[in-house]
Amino acid sequence: MNYNNTDFNNKTILITGGAGFIGSNLAFYFQENFPASNIIIFDCFRSESIFSNGNLQSFGHYKNLIGFKGKIICGNINNLNNLSLLSEYKFDYIFHQAAISDTRVYDQTIVMETNINSFYNLLNIAKKNNAAMIYASSGATYGSMPSPQTEGHESPENPYGFSKLMMDQIASQYSFKNPEMVIVGLRYFNVYGPREFFKGNTSSMVIQLGHQILAGKEPRLFKGSDKILRDFIYIDDVIQANIKACTPKKNGVYNVGTGVPRSFQDIADILQQELGTNFETQYFSNPYDGYQMHTQADISSSTKNLGFQSQISLEKGISAYIPEIKCLNGTKNK
Ligand SMILES: NC(=O)c1ccc[n+]([C@@H]2O[C@H](COP(=O)([O-])OP(=O)(O)OC[C@H]3O[C@@H](n4cnc5c(N)ncnc54)[C@H](O)[C@@H]3O)[C@@H](O)[C@H]2O)c1
Protein backbone atom coordinates (compact mmCIF):
# COMPACT_ATOMS: atom_id res chain seq x y z
CA MET A 1 0.00 0.00 0.00
CA ASN A 2 1.48 3.36 -1.03
CA TYR A 3 0.03 6.33 0.82
CA ASN A 4 1.68 8.97 -1.35
CA ASN A 5 4.43 9.34 -3.94
CA THR A 6 7.39 9.19 -1.57
CA ASP A 7 9.79 6.49 -2.72
CA PHE A 8 11.62 4.97 0.26
CA ASN A 9 13.66 2.61 -1.91
CA ASN A 10 17.39 3.23 -1.50
CA LYS A 11 16.67 5.37 1.55
CA THR A 12 18.19 4.65 4.94
CA ILE A 13 15.57 4.53 7.66
CA LEU A 14 16.15 4.43 11.41
CA ILE A 15 13.32 3.08 13.55
CA THR A 16 13.90 3.47 17.28
CA GLY A 17 11.64 1.17 19.27
CA GLY A 18 11.47 -1.08 16.22
CA ALA A 19 11.03 -4.24 18.32
CA GLY A 20 7.82 -2.82 19.77
CA PHE A 21 4.27 -2.66 18.46
CA ILE A 22 4.24 0.38 16.18
CA GLY A 23 7.95 0.32 15.31
CA SER A 24 7.88 -3.29 14.09
CA ASN A 25 4.82 -2.60 11.96
CA LEU A 26 6.66 0.34 10.40
CA ALA A 27 9.66 -1.89 9.72
CA PHE A 28 7.54 -4.49 7.92
CA TYR A 29 5.68 -1.79 6.02
CA PHE A 30 8.95 -0.53 4.54
CA GLN A 31 10.33 -4.01 3.97
CA GLU A 32 7.23 -5.12 2.08
CA ASN A 33 6.50 -1.96 0.11
CA PHE A 34 10.03 -0.64 -0.47
CA PRO A 35 12.26 -3.71 -0.69
CA ALA A 36 15.32 -1.64 -1.59
CA SER A 37 15.05 0.48 1.56
CA ASN A 38 17.78 0.09 4.16
CA ILE A 39 16.06 -0.32 7.53
CA ILE A 40 17.90 -0.07 10.85
CA ILE A 41 16.13 -0.88 14.10
CA PHE A 42 17.47 0.45 17.40
CA ASP A 43 15.80 -1.04 20.48
CA CYS A 44 16.88 -2.28 23.91
CA PHE A 45 14.40 -5.18 23.66
CA ARG A 46 13.04 -6.57 26.94
CA SER A 47 15.18 -7.39 29.91
CA GLU A 48 13.70 -8.92 33.02
CA SER A 49 13.57 -5.56 34.85
CA ILE A 50 10.14 -4.53 36.03
CA PHE A 51 8.60 -1.33 37.33
CA SER A 52 6.85 -1.15 40.71
CA ASN A 53 3.52 -1.55 38.85
CA GLY A 54 4.64 -5.09 37.93
CA ASN A 55 5.07 -4.34 34.22
CA LEU A 56 8.26 -4.84 32.22
CA GLN A 57 10.46 -1.78 31.76
CA SER A 58 10.51 -2.28 27.98
CA PHE A 59 8.28 -4.41 25.82
CA GLY A 60 10.38 -4.97 22.68
CA HIS A 61 10.29 -8.63 21.62
CA TYR A 62 12.24 -10.55 18.99
CA LYS A 63 9.04 -12.33 17.96
CA ASN A 64 7.73 -9.04 16.56
CA LEU A 65 10.65 -9.12 14.13
CA ILE A 66 10.62 -12.67 12.83
CA GLY A 67 11.02 -12.31 9.06
CA PHE A 68 12.66 -8.87 9.31
CA LYS A 69 15.63 -8.65 6.94
CA GLY A 70 17.12 -5.29 7.90
CA LYS A 71 19.69 -4.51 10.58
CA ILE A 72 19.10 -4.60 14.30
CA ILE A 73 21.10 -2.72 16.90
CA CYS A 74 20.32 -3.60 20.49
CA GLY A 75 20.90 -0.44 22.48
CA ASN A 76 19.44 1.95 25.00
CA ILE A 77 18.46 5.45 23.85
CA ASN A 78 19.60 6.72 27.26
CA ASN A 79 23.16 5.55 26.62
CA LEU A 80 25.38 7.80 24.49
CA ASN A 81 27.81 4.96 23.79
CA ASN A 82 24.96 2.88 22.43
CA LEU A 83 23.69 5.80 20.32
CA SER A 84 27.20 6.25 18.89
CA LEU A 85 26.68 2.89 17.12
CA LEU A 86 24.40 4.82 14.78
CA SER A 87 27.19 7.09 13.58
CA GLU A 88 28.26 4.72 10.81
CA TYR A 89 24.96 5.30 8.99
CA LYS A 90 23.65 8.20 6.97
CA PHE A 91 19.92 8.32 7.67
CA ASP A 92 17.27 9.86 5.45
CA TYR A 93 14.39 9.26 7.85
CA ILE A 94 14.13 8.68 11.58
CA PHE A 95 10.93 7.23 13.05
CA HIS A 96 11.40 7.64 16.77
CA GLN A 97 9.06 5.26 18.61
CA ALA A 98 11.26 4.11 21.51
CA ALA A 99 9.84 5.24 24.84
CA ILE A 100 8.47 4.10 28.10
CA SER A 101 5.06 3.55 26.57
CA ASP A 102 3.35 2.46 29.79
CA THR A 103 1.10 5.32 30.95
CA ARG A 104 1.01 3.93 34.50
CA VAL A 105 4.69 4.27 35.34
CA TYR A 106 5.10 6.78 38.15
CA ASP A 107 8.91 6.70 38.48
CA GLN A 108 9.22 10.20 37.04
CA THR A 109 13.02 10.08 36.81
CA ILE A 110 13.13 7.18 34.38
CA VAL A 111 10.13 8.36 32.35
CA MET A 112 11.61 11.84 31.83
CA GLU A 113 15.10 10.53 31.21
CA THR A 114 13.97 8.01 28.62
CA ASN A 115 11.33 10.04 26.85
CA ILE A 116 12.82 13.55 27.07
CA ASN A 117 16.64 13.48 27.42
CA SER A 118 17.19 11.01 24.62
CA PHE A 119 15.09 13.13 22.28
CA TYR A 120 17.71 15.92 22.24
CA ASN A 121 20.33 13.41 21.15
CA LEU A 122 18.11 11.92 18.47
CA LEU A 123 17.22 15.36 17.10
CA ASN A 124 20.94 16.12 16.89
CA ILE A 125 21.46 12.87 14.96
CA ALA A 126 18.62 13.88 12.61
CA LYS A 127 20.19 17.28 12.08
CA LYS A 128 23.65 15.89 11.43
CA ASN A 129 22.21 13.44 8.89
CA ASN A 130 19.81 15.93 7.34
CA ALA A 131 17.12 13.33 8.10
CA ALA A 132 13.41 13.87 8.58
CA MET A 133 12.42 13.25 12.22
CA ILE A 134 8.98 11.73 12.74
CA TYR A 135 8.44 11.00 16.43
CA ALA A 136 5.68 9.50 18.57
CA SER A 137 3.83 11.91 20.81
CA SER A 138 0.57 10.85 22.45
CA GLY A 139 -3.08 11.61 23.04
CA ALA A 140 -2.12 11.32 26.74
CA THR A 141 -0.84 14.91 26.48
CA TYR A 142 -4.51 15.97 26.68
CA GLY A 143 -5.38 14.29 29.97
CA SER A 144 -9.08 14.92 30.59
CA MET A 145 -9.43 17.93 28.29
CA PRO A 146 -12.92 18.01 26.78
CA SER A 147 -13.51 16.40 23.39
CA PRO A 148 -12.60 16.87 20.67
CA GLN A 149 -8.96 17.13 21.79
CA THR A 150 -7.20 19.77 19.74
CA GLU A 151 -3.50 20.55 19.39
CA GLY A 152 -2.60 23.52 21.62
CA HIS A 153 -4.97 22.55 24.47
CA GLU A 154 -3.13 20.02 26.63
CA SER A 155 -3.29 19.09 30.30
CA PRO A 156 -1.39 15.85 30.94
CA GLU A 157 -2.37 13.84 34.00
CA ASN A 158 0.53 11.43 34.30
CA PRO A 159 4.34 11.56 33.94
CA TYR A 160 4.10 9.83 30.57
CA GLY A 161 1.70 12.42 29.11
CA PHE A 162 3.86 15.22 30.49
CA SER A 163 7.02 13.72 28.97
CA LYS A 164 5.37 13.58 25.55
CA LEU A 165 4.20 17.18 25.84
CA MET A 166 7.77 18.20 26.68
CA MET A 167 8.97 16.35 23.57
CA ASP A 168 6.50 18.40 21.53
CA GLN A 169 7.89 21.61 23.00
CA ILE A 170 11.47 20.53 22.34
CA ALA A 171 10.54 19.65 18.76
CA SER A 172 8.85 22.99 18.24
CA GLN A 173 11.90 24.92 19.51
CA TYR A 174 14.29 22.75 17.50
CA SER A 175 12.20 23.24 14.40
CA PHE A 176 12.17 27.02 14.94
CA LYS A 177 15.97 27.06 15.11
CA ASN A 178 16.36 24.65 12.20
CA PRO A 179 13.63 25.59 9.73
CA GLU A 180 15.20 23.50 6.95
CA MET A 181 14.48 20.28 8.89
CA VAL A 182 11.33 18.13 8.75
CA ILE A 183 10.23 17.50 12.35
CA VAL A 184 6.76 16.11 12.94
CA GLY A 185 5.19 14.73 16.11
CA LEU A 186 2.27 12.33 15.90
CA ARG A 187 -0.16 12.18 18.77
CA TYR A 188 -1.46 8.66 18.52
CA PHE A 189 -4.73 8.02 20.32
CA ASN A 190 -5.60 4.38 21.30
CA VAL A 191 -3.79 2.20 18.79
CA TYR A 192 -4.69 -1.49 18.31
CA GLY A 193 -3.66 -4.19 15.88
CA PRO A 194 -1.13 -6.93 15.12
CA ARG A 195 2.19 -7.05 17.06
CA GLU A 196 0.85 -5.39 20.21
CA PHE A 197 0.51 -8.67 22.11
CA PHE A 198 3.88 -8.39 23.84
CA LYS A 199 2.81 -5.18 25.57
CA GLY A 200 1.03 -7.48 28.03
CA ASN A 201 -1.60 -5.74 30.11
CA THR A 202 -0.78 -2.40 28.45
CA SER A 203 -1.96 -3.76 25.09
CA SER A 204 -5.32 -2.61 23.76
CA MET A 205 -8.64 -3.82 25.13
CA VAL A 206 -9.32 -5.28 21.68
CA ILE A 207 -6.81 -8.10 22.15
CA GLN A 208 -7.38 -8.43 25.90
CA LEU A 209 -11.16 -8.82 25.52
CA GLY A 210 -10.67 -11.00 22.44
CA HIS A 211 -8.62 -13.43 24.50
CA GLN A 212 -11.12 -13.41 27.37
CA ILE A 213 -13.90 -14.33 24.97
CA LEU A 214 -11.82 -16.99 23.22
CA ALA A 215 -11.07 -18.52 26.63
CA GLY A 216 -14.83 -18.97 27.05
CA LYS A 217 -15.13 -16.15 29.61
CA GLU A 218 -17.59 -13.28 29.75
CA PRO A 219 -16.03 -9.98 28.67
CA ARG A 220 -15.22 -7.92 31.80
CA LEU A 221 -15.66 -4.17 31.60
CA PHE A 222 -15.83 -1.18 33.95
CA LYS A 223 -19.34 -0.19 35.00
CA GLY A 224 -20.74 2.35 32.54
CA SER A 225 -18.49 1.15 29.71
CA ASP A 226 -21.10 2.09 27.15
CA LYS A 227 -20.37 5.69 28.16
CA ILE A 228 -16.57 5.51 28.29
CA LEU A 229 -15.61 6.60 24.81
CA ARG A 230 -12.19 6.51 23.18
CA ASP A 231 -10.74 7.20 19.79
CA PHE A 232 -9.47 3.73 18.81
CA ILE A 233 -7.24 3.70 15.76
CA TYR A 234 -6.05 0.71 13.75
CA ILE A 235 -2.31 0.26 13.19
CA ASP A 236 -2.57 0.65 9.38
CA ASP A 237 -3.93 4.18 9.86
CA VAL A 238 -0.97 4.93 12.15
CA ILE A 239 1.41 3.76 9.42
CA GLN A 240 -0.42 6.00 6.97
CA ALA A 241 0.11 8.98 9.30
CA ASN A 242 3.85 8.23 9.63
CA ILE A 243 4.29 8.07 5.86
CA LYS A 244 2.35 11.28 5.26
CA ALA A 245 4.29 13.00 8.05
CA CYS A 246 7.45 12.69 5.94
CA THR A 247 6.14 15.38 3.59
CA PRO A 248 4.19 17.78 5.81
CA LYS A 249 2.89 21.14 4.67
CA LYS A 250 4.49 22.42 7.84
CA ASN A 251 6.29 21.03 10.86
CA GLY A 252 4.23 20.55 13.99
CA VAL A 253 2.47 18.05 16.18
CA TYR A 254 -0.62 16.34 14.80
CA ASN A 255 -3.38 14.16 16.18
CA VAL A 256 -3.64 10.62 14.87
CA GLY A 257 -7.09 9.27 15.59
CA THR A 258 -10.19 8.38 13.64
CA GLY A 259 -12.09 11.43 14.91
CA VAL A 260 -14.88 9.03 15.91
CA PRO A 261 -15.24 8.12 19.61
CA ARG A 262 -16.40 4.57 20.35
CA SER A 263 -17.16 2.78 23.60
CA PHE A 264 -15.44 -0.18 25.27
CA GLN A 265 -18.85 -1.84 25.06
CA ASP A 266 -18.68 -1.45 21.26
CA ILE A 267 -15.38 -3.36 21.25
CA ALA A 268 -16.84 -6.23 23.28
CA ASP A 269 -19.94 -6.34 21.07
CA ILE A 270 -18.01 -6.30 17.78
CA LEU A 271 -15.67 -9.02 19.07
CA GLN A 272 -18.60 -11.20 20.11
CA GLN A 273 -20.14 -10.77 16.69
CA GLU A 274 -16.85 -11.67 14.96
CA LEU A 275 -16.22 -14.65 17.23
CA GLY A 276 -19.82 -15.91 17.14
CA THR A 277 -20.37 -15.76 20.91
CA ASN A 278 -23.16 -14.34 23.01
CA PHE A 279 -21.84 -13.90 26.56
CA GLU A 280 -23.36 -11.49 29.04
CA THR A 281 -20.89 -8.69 29.85
CA GLN A 282 -19.63 -8.64 33.44
CA TYR A 283 -19.22 -5.17 34.97
CA PHE A 284 -16.94 -4.11 37.81
CA SER A 285 -16.01 -0.77 39.45
CA ASN A 286 -13.35 1.36 37.80
CA PRO A 287 -10.44 1.57 40.30
CA TYR A 288 -8.66 4.46 38.57
CA ASP A 289 -8.76 8.17 39.38
CA GLY A 290 -8.26 10.55 36.48
CA TYR A 291 -9.50 7.99 33.95
CA GLN A 292 -10.07 9.48 30.49
CA MET A 293 -13.84 9.20 29.92
CA HIS A 294 -14.08 10.62 26.41
CA THR A 295 -11.38 10.99 23.80
CA GLN A 296 -11.93 12.08 20.25
CA ALA A 297 -9.11 13.42 18.13
CA ASP A 298 -9.72 16.62 16.24
CA ILE A 299 -7.95 15.63 13.04
CA SER A 300 -8.64 18.80 11.05
CA SER A 301 -5.04 20.01 11.31
CA SER A 302 -3.65 16.53 10.48
CA THR A 303 -5.88 16.41 7.40
CA LYS A 304 -4.93 19.92 6.32
CA ASN A 305 -1.18 19.69 6.93
CA LEU A 306 -0.40 16.00 6.43
CA GLY A 307 -3.30 14.85 4.24
CA PHE A 308 -4.06 12.27 6.94
CA GLN A 309 -7.51 10.78 7.27
CA SER A 310 -8.41 7.54 8.98
CA GLN A 311 -9.62 4.86 6.55
CA ILE A 312 -10.46 2.05 8.94
CA SER A 313 -13.54 1.90 11.17
CA LEU A 314 -13.52 -0.02 14.46
CA GLU A 315 -15.59 -2.77 12.79
CA LYS A 316 -13.12 -3.12 9.89
CA GLY A 317 -10.05 -2.94 12.12
CA ILE A 318 -11.28 -5.61 14.55
CA SER A 319 -12.32 -7.84 11.67
CA ALA A 320 -8.86 -7.55 10.06
CA TYR A 321 -7.24 -8.28 13.44
CA ILE A 322 -9.26 -11.40 14.35
CA PRO A 323 -6.90 -13.97 12.71
CA GLU A 324 -3.93 -12.72 14.78
CA ILE A 325 -6.04 -12.56 17.97
CA LYS A 326 -7.06 -16.19 17.39
CA CYS A 327 -3.54 -17.26 16.51
CA LEU A 328 -2.07 -15.79 19.73
CA ASN A 329 -4.78 -17.14 21.99
CA GLY A 330 -3.19 -19.16 24.79
CA THR A 331 0.36 -17.98 23.92
CA LYS A 332 2.61 -17.04 26.83
CA ASN A 333 3.62 -13.38 26.92
CA LYS A 334 7.32 -14.06 27.48
N1 LIG B 1 0.22 2.12 21.23
C2 LIG B 1 -0.45 3.22 21.52
O3 LIG B 1 -1.68 3.20 21.68
C4 LIG B 1 0.28 4.54 21.66
C5 LIG B 1 -0.47 5.70 21.89
C6 LIG B 1 0.18 6.91 22.02
C7 LIG B 1 1.56 6.98 21.86
N8 LIG B 1 2.28 5.86 21.66
C9 LIG B 1 3.74 5.99 21.54
O10 LIG B 1 4.15 5.33 20.35
C11 LIG B 1 5.45 4.77 20.52
C12 LIG B 1 5.41 3.29 20.22
O13 LIG B 1 4.48 2.70 21.11
P14 LIG B 1 4.17 1.16 21.10
O15 LIG B 1 2.75 0.99 21.39
O16 LIG B 1 4.77 0.54 19.90
O17 LIG B 1 4.96 0.72 22.42
P18 LIG B 1 6.01 -0.43 22.65
O19 LIG B 1 6.29 -0.42 24.11
O20 LIG B 1 5.55 -1.70 22.03
O21 LIG B 1 7.29 0.08 21.85
C22 LIG B 1 8.30 0.86 22.42
C23 LIG B 1 9.63 0.22 22.10
O24 LIG B 1 10.66 1.03 22.66
C25 LIG B 1 11.63 0.18 23.23
N26 LIG B 1 12.31 0.93 24.29
C27 LIG B 1 11.80 1.33 25.48
N28 LIG B 1 12.72 1.96 26.20
C29 LIG B 1 13.84 1.99 25.42
C30 LIG B 1 15.14 2.50 25.62
N31 LIG B 1 15.47 3.13 26.76
N32 LIG B 1 16.06 2.35 24.64
C33 LIG B 1 15.74 1.70 23.49
N34 LIG B 1 14.52 1.18 23.26
C35 LIG B 1 13.58 1.33 24.22
C36 LIG B 1 10.87 -1.01 23.78
O37 LIG B 1 11.69 -2.14 23.91
C38 LIG B 1 9.80 -1.18 22.71
O39 LIG B 1 10.22 -2.08 21.73
C40 LIG B 1 5.86 5.09 21.95
O41 LIG B 1 6.64 6.26 21.93
C42 LIG B 1 4.54 5.34 22.64
O43 LIG B 1 4.68 6.20 23.75
C44 LIG B 1 1.67 4.64 21.55
List pLDDT tens digits, range 145-197: 999 999 999 999 999 999 999 999 999 999 999 999 999 999 999 999 999 99
Give, for ligand 1, the residue of 14, 22, 81 to mutate: max count of ligand atoms closer than 8 Å to Cβ.
Answer: 22
Span 214-254, pLDDT tens digits: 999 999 999 999 999 999 999 999 999 999 999 999 999 99
Å from CA of 171 to ligand 1 middle: 18
> What is the C-alpha to C-alpha distance for residues 179 and 127, in angstroms, rounded to an integer?
11
Atom 7 of ligand 1: nearest residue by CA position: 138
Largest CA distance in the chain: 58
Indicate the helix (H) or strand (E) that contains 187.
strand 183-188
Å from CA of 84 to ligand 1 middle: 21
Band of the pLDDT at 267, cuts 50, 70, 90?
very high
pLDDT recorded at residue 148: 98
Span 282-329, pLDDT tens digits: 999 999 877 889 999 999 999 999 999 999 999 999 999 999 999 999
**244 belongs to the catalytic site:** no
Judged against a pLDDT cut of 80, whether residue 42 lies above it is answered with yes
**Lining residues, ligand 1, CB within 6 Å:** 17, 19-23, 43-45, 58-60, 76-78, 97-101, 114, 136, 138-139, 188, 190-191, 199
Judged against a pLDDT cut of 90, whether residue 28 lies above it is answered with yes
The residue among 6, 46, 39, 10 whose CA lies nearest residue 24 is: 39
Q: Which residue is catalytic, options 11, 164, 199, 244?
A: 199
**160 belongs to the catalytic site:** yes
Is the distance from CB of 85 to CB of 136 less than 8 angstroms? no
The residue among 228, 240, 220, 205 whose CA lies nearest residue 321 is: 205
Q: What is the mean pLDDT of residues 252-259?
A: 98
pLDDT recorded at residue 327: 96
The residue among 316, 334, 168 whose CA lies nearest residue 235 is: 316
